[in-house]
Amino acid sequence: MAHAMTVPESGHAPRPRKAPMPPVLRAFLWAAIGFLLLNTFVIAVDPFRGHPFVTGPSVVFGWVGAAIGWLLGIGLYDAVLLPLMGFPTRWQERQQGWRRYWEFATDHKVIGLQYMMFAVGGFLIAGGIAMLMRYELMTPYLTIFHYPSNYLTAVGIHGTLMMFSFATVFMIGGLGNYFVPLMIGARETVLSKLSGIGVWLVPVGILTVLFSPLLGEWSTGWRGYEPLAGQDANGILFYYLGVLALTMSSLIVALNLVATVMFRRAPGLTWGRLPLFVWGQVTVNLLMLIWFPEIQTTFVMALLDKVVPLNFFTATGSPLTYLMLFWLFGHPEVYIIAVPAFAIWNEIIPVMAQKSLFGRQWAVIGLVFVMMLSGLVWAHHMFTNLRNSEILPFSFFTEMISIPTGFAYMSAIGTLWKSKVRLNTPMLWILMSMFNFLIGGLTGVFLADPIVNLQLHDTFWVVGHFHYTIIGSMVFSGFGAIYYWLPKLSGRTFNETWGKTLAIITFLAFNLTFSQFFLLGLHGMNRWVPAYPAYLQPMNFEVSIFAFILGAAFLGNILYIGYCWRNGAQAGENPWGAKTPEWFTSSPAPRYNFPVQPEIVGSLYLYGEGTKVPVVTTALGELAATSRATQDPQFDWHDYAPDGGGVTS
Amino acid sequence: MGENVVFAVLWVVFSVLGEIGDRVIIRHNPMYYIVSNQGQLALQAFNFLLVVLTPVFVFVVLFLVFTMVRFTTKRGEMPPANKRFAIDNKAFVLVWVGGSIALNLLFFLHPTTSAMEQMFALDQPAANTHDLVVDVTARQWQWIFSYPQYGLTQTLTPNGQNLLELPVNVPVKFVLRSYDPYHTYDQYADVIHSFWVPAFGIKEDVIPGETRYEYLTPTAITSYAVNPMVRVQCAEVCGPGHPWMESPLAVVSDQQFAQWVKAQKALANG
Amino acid sequence: MSKVPNEPPIESPEPQQPEWSRRQFLVGTAAIGVAGAVTLFGRQSLVNAARSVFGSPVSSGTVHLYAYDYYYIPNYMTWRVGDRMEVIFQNQSHTHWHEWTMGRHVNEAYFQAFGNLPADAWQEDFWDGVPVTLSDPYGIDNFVPNQAIVTYVGPKAAYNIQSGGDFSPTLKPGGSLHLSFTVPNKPGLWDFGCFVQQYIHYRTGMRGQVMILPA
Ligand code: HEM
Ligand SMILES: [Cu+2]
Ligand SMILES: [Cu+2]
Ligand SMILES: [Cu+2]
């Protein structure tokens, strides 16, 4: 906004102004302006006459303009660019109230909640689309979708939004941003401004993918397989661009969290004491730092293939190269989703059992080895199109990856064995998650076997398998984590009867829906078909009924959590008796998390006789990290800001 | 001690029950309907995995149930905090880690490698000198079948649908190509398809610019009318026509096949 | 564990500028949401509404009908009974045959995979008993006259006339054909479509409509 530069000389009191536009609306406006500017420019210089106002190339540039306009409007301009250039700014970080969730923020807890909010939005949209898909599949011919291309676009949007705007975003952008700094006793993240900007790429990505049909239907599903993508209408461009925005956002999270864990751990929080959840996050953040740039490059190449056009992945180029590059990222991606869930199991179980975590080092080793092996298995998605000679090595690594995955179970089982665990709502979700992922994993053993895979690949067996692994791991553990941390997030708690009832309904509906996917697959139901032979109808019909119940159950949980967030009973400070640092401050935590820099003096996962409270927050004078406080008697922790900004003023 | 024994006994009991269940499933064919030698390999592998994984499945599920029944506090009670807890148990870890490594190595050797070796053996050109050759051309969106040994360029049903017919117990070599035969100036104008006959238990992708082969022997006289899994169906999304990229299929006796070839020739010559 | 007095002070208790408006925010985002939903789901309804309010221009004289993979341009036309028309039907595809049939009523429940396809697609063929003159054939795959009263300009061989099914000129990639006729007295809404490749073109959306206005 240009008038920001005409701010009066400093010293004068600023004249009263009229209320600014809500940042989100300003962002929409600036995005529209950005789109029009670049789109019109491209159309003006396009040598071909007589084409429509929006063409493939123009929309790509227009989108870039819109994304930049959006980010500038939401706060990049006021909060980052102006100060960076040395101009005065009106921006001031809001400390309280609902408004701070709808504008640029630097507090990792606000950012984390923004990520969760957008992720839940993505989940609801993609889930609603799943309901439409299931409605269509109740009959063997087309009903609500007029043409297969509509259905296929719906499948693509469902998969893309679920993977890129929900699964990754909720676990890592949401829970990771919120809890990693708290759990390592940090008072702020390292790249907090970047992170505050990055979260606003999520709505950009969601809206881009959601509105892709405006540019025409695309038929490839979430994998964007070539050369088919090259034939699709321009809608596929919004798939590439939307995913680009979403992965960019997650990449920023990964960068920020890794840096924060490296540089902002509390004194005494050695790598050996690092909470499991943090280990899970760090390992997948590394995976993201490796593989997200790879898929972004691939998508840029595919995009160029389409708009220039080039021939990287067309049939005269090499379509298999695209498949390889996609799964090279695609397989690590599913572990990016699953590993935090494993970590959550072993985070919550010892707390609920008040029993020391069994084989902690094995749980960590499991996470790390899953991370490393996940880069070696990608071609198991390609047994049907790989050269035969390449099948066996990939089958080998795929089967081997179940070994470190099993370590998560080993630790959980060892901890629960002969324990006295509180079977409350979070714990129930975790046990359910272990059951679901077990089914996902075991059905994966069948798929890892190439000869069986040649029959089951591209059938509903696979669809059942990956919904069991993804929903089983991340959605069920995610709900467990949210119920577990609800007192931390909101200071309030939920009612056990309600919580458990909802969990059980969800569990039953989920299993009744997706277990039958395996039978459908075995019986010859292939993927991506809105029309199928009539003999498959009875089971599809029944699956759809359960799917609707499942949709309602998810919605019920989300609404109930929302209700408890505002109206639940007041929760105690540390209601579960946990030992990890996030519980050693008030709920919700204050702006800089801890009143003083806490120190970690013991293991976070040991319980029982003779174990001590591992987090010390009161030993002010002994801590080097807060030496300012010891030297300056006037020092008030409220002034503490990690960048030192608040101290002198 | 008590818990260990109870758990072990229950595990054995339920595993045995599970194995009995597996026998029933296997008798009823978990893959519903398989009529090729290649599909038999898949089915055997599937059954083997089912049998071996059942105790694993039972172990974890039993454990989860056991936890809920025996290892829980009463509602609202805190767990007792007066013990020291084991955080390691060398024997358990050894059995778990060793066991999972052993199990996965087993799976890699059998059925993974053993079945693949059998498949590769079936695919040896030397073993396939007398095969019936069927050229399969995938095109958006139809399957075109031709029989070069019989001079048939496109076999059709009376109402013009593409039709695949095979003699029973004769090895077949499918030559898979994805391109548009009616459109010769660009050989590579098509997309990836996947040639799948559910009842044959195998699919292979058909990739523009590549020629791929699939070998199998149908083992029963059957057709789409007998079982709807006997059909050619594209399994890889290939655009809006994908759900309808299908074709009926019949496996017939030698004599019927010979007659059919004659009829097709007559049809082709008009 | 001690509860710490740690609600951080609000750094500037009085915001120096008025807050952005909650109402503006809610109304604005809701409006954007509604506009978004309409563009996503309501385009066809908008088009139909506009058509029913403003009508659509009547085409007469020479009209181009282009076939692409797998759609027609235009896919909606308005004709008037008694008008003299010349439709230049042109296949713009590089790879696929396309035809032009016109009629009423296809049972879409057939369109499951392995559905029993009707031998004759339209229950009612628009061209039944209609006199039509064909000319300038180029790249004709085949032509089925059905019950139409057809006059052929030039040697008949170029039309590759066949029997079976609806009135349907089928063009090879790049082919074209002129059809001249007087719009018959069959007012109302007619569908047209391409039934090539086991109706897949039609099923995937290669169809359109002609509104015929009474004279
Ligand atoms: C709410 C319950 C859900 C239902 C009923 C559901 C249902 C479906 C169905 C019917 C398909 C299409 C299969 C096909 O025709 O090929 C599908 C695809 C998919 N789903 Fe879901 N789904 C649900 C939740 C999720 C969640 C939570 C995720 C991930 C976080 C997810 C990820 C995917 C992916 C990645 C695909 C593949 C899309 C593609 O083929 O390109 N789904 N789902
Ligand atoms: Cu296909
Ligand atoms: Cu297909
Ligand atoms: Cu057509």
The CATH code of the domain that includes B149 is 2.60.40.420
Over residues A462-475, the mean pLDDT reads 95
A453 and A501, same structural domain? yes
Q: Same domain, yes or no, for A563 and A595?
A: no
- Beta-sheet strands, E only, within A412-571: 492-493, 569-570
In chain A, % of residues over pLDDT 70 = 92
Closest of A386, A248, A397 to residue A320, by C-alpha: A386
Contacts of B228 in chain C (CB under 8 A): 114
**Would the CA dihedral through A529, A535, A541, A547 be positive or negative?**
negative
Chain C CA closest to residue B189: C95
Q: What is the pLDDT of residue A2?
A: 40
What does the pLDDT read at residue B94?
94
Give me the pLDDT at residue A617, please.
76
Considering the domain architecture, whether residues A564 and A629 belong to the same structural domain is answered as no
Cβ atoms within 10 Å of A492's Cβ, excluding its own: 18
Nearest CA to ligand 1 atom 3: A130
Kindly state the average pLDDT of the residues A495-523. 96
A532-586: per-residue pLDDT in tens?
Answer: 999 999 999 999 999 999 999 999 999 999 999 999 999 888 899 899 999 999 8
Mapped to the 3 state alphabet, what secondary structure does A122-139 carry? HHHHHHHHHHHHHHHCCC
Residues A471 and A615 in one domain: no
Write the single-letter amino acid at A539: M
Are residues B208 and B175 part of one domain? yes
Q: How far is CA A554 from the centre of its chain?
A: 17
Number of domains present in the structure of chain A: 2
Identity of the residue in B71, B101, B192 whose CB atom sits nearest the CB atom of A420: B71
Same domain, C81 and C106: yes
Q: Could you identify the atom of ligand 1 that is nearest to the CA of residue A475?
A: 27
Average pLDDT over residues B114-138: 90
State mean pLDDT over C90-100. Answer: 88
**B198-207: per-residue pLDDT in tens?**
999 999 999 9
So what's the pLDDT on residue C17? 64
Candidate of A145, A155, A461, A517 to mutate for ligand 1, largest count of ligand atoms within 8 Å of Cβ = A155
User: Token pair of B249, please?
Assistant: 């299929």
Pair A537, A601 in one domain? no
B269/A435 Cα distance (integer angstroms): 62
| Helix%, strand%, coil% for chain A, nearest 5 | 70, 0, 30
Does residue C163 share a domain with residue C62?
yes
Contacts of A643 (CB under 8 A, 6+ apart): A188
How far apart are the C-alpha atoms of A156 and A64, rounded to whole Å? 22
Model confidence band, residue B186 (pLDDT cutoffs 50, 70, 90): low
The verdict on A565 and A594 lying in the same domain is: no
Q: Give the SS3 label for residue C160.
A: coil
Around Cβ A619, how many Cβ atoms within 10 Å? 13
Q: Is A152 on the interface with B (CB under 8 A)?
A: yes
Whether A135 is in the pocket of ligand 1, judged by its Cβ within 6 Å, is no
Q: Please count the residues of chain A.
A: 649
Q: Parallel, antiparallel, or unpaired for β A492-493 and B142-146?
A: unpaired
In a domain, C14, yes or no: no
- For the stretch A382-409, pLDDT in tens is 999 888 888 999 999 999 999 999 999 9
Give the residue numbers spanning the domain of A609. Answer: 590-640
Please check the confidence at residue A203 and state whether its pLDDT lies above 80.
yes
Same domain, yes or no: A607 and A540: no
Looking at the fold, whether B101 and B224 belong to one and the same domain comes out as no
Residue B30 lies in a domain: yes
Residue C187 and residue C86 in one domain:
yes
Residue A56 lies in a domain: no
Indicate if the pLDDT at residue A645 is higher than 60. Answer: no
Query: Is the pLDDT at A50 greater than 80, yes or no?
Result: no
Per the CB < 8 A criterion, the answer to whether B199 and B33 are in contact is yes
With 70 as the cut, is the pLDDT of residue A623 above it? no
Query: How many other C-beta atoms are found inside a 10 Å radius of the C-beta of residue A87?
Result: 12
Residue of A nearest to B98 (CA): A403
What pLDDT shows up at residue A89? Answer: 84
C21 contact residues in A (CB cutoff 8 A)? 19, 22
- Using an 8 Å Cβ cutoff, are B250 and B221 in contact? no
Residue B14 makes CB contacts below 8 A (sequence gap 6+) with: B58, B62
The domain boundary residue, chosen from C55, C76, C100: C55
Q: Rounded to an integer, what is the distance from CA B79 to the centroid of its chain? A: 49
Q: Which of A41-55, A114-128, B176-190, C51-65 has the highest mean pLDDT?
A: A114-128
Which is more confidently placed, A523 or C3? A523
Pairing of strands B172-178, B132-139: parallel
Question: How far is the CA of B85 from the CAs of A350, A366, A522, B36, B161, in angstroms?
Answer: 11, 22, 46, 56, 71
Chain B CB contacts of C203 below 8 Å? 241, 244
Contacting residues of B for C111, CB less than 8 Å apart? 244
* Overall domain count for chain C: 2
C193/C127 same-domain check: yes
Q: Do B182 and C197 touch (CB under 8 A)?
A: no
Q: For chain B, how big is the Rg over CA atoms in Å? A: 26
Cα–Cα separations (whole angstroms), residue A640 to A194, A595, A611, C71: 21, 9, 32, 65
Q: Which of B67, B93, B122 is the last residue of a domain?
A: B122
Q: Is the pLDDT of residue A317 over 80?
A: no
Q: Is residue A87 in a domain?
A: no
User: What mean pLDDT comes out for the span A162-191?
Assistant: 94
* pLDDT average, residue stretch A243-268: 95
CATH label of the domain that carries residue A554:
1.20.210.10
* Cβ A481 under 6 angstroms from ligand 1: no
Indicate if C144 and C104 belong to the same structural domain. yes
d(CA B58, CA C22): 56
The span from the CA of C75 to the CA of C202, in Å, is 12
**pLDDT given for residue B1 in this prediction:** 57
pLDDT digits (tens, 9 = 90+) for B27-56: 999 999 999 999 999 999 999 999 999 999
Neighbours of C, requiring at least 3 CB pairs below 8 Å, are A, B
Residue A493: predicted pLDDT? 93
Average pLDDT value for residue range C35-46: 88
pLDDT of residue B183: 64
User: Does one domain contain both B69 and B111?
Assistant: yes
What is residue B242's three-state secondary structure?
helix
Question: B80 lies in a domain?
Answer: no
Asked whether the predicted pLDDT for residue A337 surpasses 50, the reply is: yes
In a domain, residue C128? The reply is: yes
Q: Mutation target for B interface from A276, A360, A381, A384: give the one with most B CBs within 10 A.
A: A384
Residues A271-296 have a mean pLDDT of 94
**Does the distance separating the beta carbons of C16 and A14 come in below 8 Å?**
yes
Please say if the pLDDT value at position A33 is more than 70: yes
- Can you give the residue range of the structural domain that contains C26? 22-55
Do C44 and C86 reside in the same domain of the chain?
no
- Let me know whether B155 and B242 are in one domain: yes
Residue A621: pLDDT band by 50, 70, 90 thresholds? very low
A59 within a domain of the structure (yes/no): no
Token digits for A53? 């106002």
Q: Which residue has the tokens 């701010």?
A: A7
Per-residue confidence (pLDDT) for residue C87, from 0 to 100:
94
Do C33 and C94 fall within a single domain? no
Residues A149 and A188 in one domain: yes
Does residue C28 sit in the same domain as residue C122? no
User: Residues A599, A555: one domain?
Assistant: no
**How far apart, in whole angstroms, are the C-alpha atoms of residue A146 and residue A135?**
13
SS3 of residue A404 by DSSP: helix
Determine whether the interchain pair C114/B182 forms a contact, defined as Cβ–Cβ distance below 8 Å: no
Residues A564 and A596 in one domain: no
Distance CA A588, CA A571 (A): 11
Mean pLDDT estimate for chain B? 91
Q: Which two tokens stand for residue A131?
A: 């309901």
Percent of chain A with pLDDT over 90: 69
Residue B51 forms part of a structural domain: yes
Q: Is residue B23 part of a domain?
A: yes
**Does residue C121 form part of some domain?**
yes
B217 in the same domain as B165: yes
Mutation target among B191, B244, B249 for the C interface, most CBs of C within 10 A = B244
Would residue C205 count as lying in a domain?
yes
- Domain count for chain B: 2
Residue A212, phi then psi, degrees to nearest 5? -55, -35
Asked if A21's CB is within 8 angstroms of C4's CB, the reply is: no
C30 and C89 housed in the same domain: no
**Higher-confidence residue: A645 or A107?**
A107
Site to probe by mutation for ligand 1, drawn from A158, A460, A539, A545 as the one with most ligand atoms within 8 Å of Cβ, is A158
pLDDT band at A618 (very low <50, low <70, confident <90, very high): low
pLDDT at B157: 84
Query: What CATH number should be reported for the domain holding residue C160?
Result: 2.60.40.420
ipTM topping 0.90: yes
Nearest to A557 by CA among A474, A500, A635: A500
Q: Is B92 helix (H, G, I), strand (E, B) or coil?
A: helix
> Both B156 and B194 in a single domain?
yes
- CA dist., res. A546 & res. B197, Å (int): 29
Cβ contacts of A438 within 8 Å, gap of 6 or more: A409, A472, B57, B60, B61
Contacts of A149 by beta carbon, 8 Å cutoff, 6+ apart: A217, A218, A219, B239, B240, C204, C205
CA of C25: which chain A residue's CA is closest? A22
Please tell me which residue of chain C has the smallest CA distance to B232: C114
Residues A468 and A527 in one domain: yes
Confidence of residue B187 (pLDDT cuts 50, 70, 90): low
Would residue A577 count as lying in a domain?
Answer: no
Q: Does residue B48 fall inside a structural domain?
A: yes
Of A47 and A95, the structure prediction assigns the larger pLDDT to A95
Residues B142 and B70 in one domain: no
My answer on whether A405 and A350 are in the same domain is yes
Q: Is the pLDDT of residue C13 over 70?
A: no
Same structural domain, C41 and C145? no
Each residue's pLDDT tens digit, C172-212: 988 999 999 999 999 999 999 998 888 889 988 899 999 99
Average pLDDT, chain A: 89
pLDDT band at A471 (very low <50, low <70, confident <90, very high): very high
Mean pLDDT across A357-383: 90
What mean pLDDT do residues C31-57 have?
88
Residues B91 and B151 both lie in one domain: no
Closest alpha carbon to C119 in C198, C192, C191, C194: C198
Does A138 reside within a domain?
A: yes
Report how far ligand 4's centroid is from the alpha carbon of C140 (Å): 14
pLDDT at A48: 75
Is B118 in the same domain as B136? no
Q: Clarify whether residues C158 and C175 are in a common domain.
A: yes
Confidence bin at A54 (pLDDT 50/70/90) = confident
Q: How confident is the model at residue C1 (pLDDT cuts 50, 70, 90)?
A: very low
Residue pair A543/A316 in contact by the 8 Å Cβ criterion? no
- Band of the pLDDT at C51, cuts 50, 70, 90? confident
Task: Give me the total of CB pairs closer than 8 Å, taking one residue from chain B and one from chain C.
Answer: 45
Which range has the top average pLDDT, A219-233, A602-616, B32-46?
A: B32-46
Q: Which domain holds residue B53?
A: 2-75+85-122
- Assess contact for A532 and C113: CB atoms under 8 A: yes
Same-domain pairing of B259 and B149: yes
The Cα A155–Cα A142 span in angstroms is: 14
Judge contact between B218 and B168, C-beta under 8 A. Answer: yes
Please tell me the distance between residue A159's alpha carbon and the centre of ligand 1 in angstroms. 6
Residue C114 lies in a domain: yes
User: Distance (Å, rounded) from C-alpha A475 to C-alpha A646?
Assistant: 40
What average pLDDT does this structure show over C19-44? 91
Assess if residue C145 is contained within a domain: yes
Q: Domain check: are B218 and B259 in the same one? A: yes
Residues in a beta bridge with B195 = B204, B234
Chain B partners of A437 at a C-beta cutoff of 8 Å? none
